[in-house]
Amino acid sequence: MTTKALLEGGPEDLAGKLVPVVPPGQELKIPHRGGYEHYKVTTRHENTQEGQVNVYQWWERTEVAE
């Protein structure tokens, strides 16, 4: 079973999305528009259509070097 996370904050088109967490850990790094959006796990959980999931809070963006 794949663990999922609910994204909070960050770009509008990512906020509120459920994404897979592989492997489960303390940080998510999501490729997005030529860079990466970074999210850290919180102690909060949300009930969703796919069950209870961890909430991950946006904390920074890094650019991809060209």
> Does 4 have pLDDT greater than 70?
yes
Domain boundaries, the chain: 1-24+40-55
Kindly indicate the confidence band of residue 2, based on its pLDDT and cuts at 50, 70 and 90. low
| CA distance linking residue 20 with residue 4, whole number of Å | 4
| CA distance linking residue 11 with residue 2, whole number of Å | 24
pLDDT tens, residue by residue, 7-22: 999 999 999 999 999 7
Q: DSSP character for 17?
A: -
11, with CB counted inside 10 A (0-12, 13-18, 19+), is middle
pLDDT tens, residue by residue, 24-39: 777 999 999 999 999 9
Q: Please report the pLDDT score of residue 48 as a whole number.
A: 93
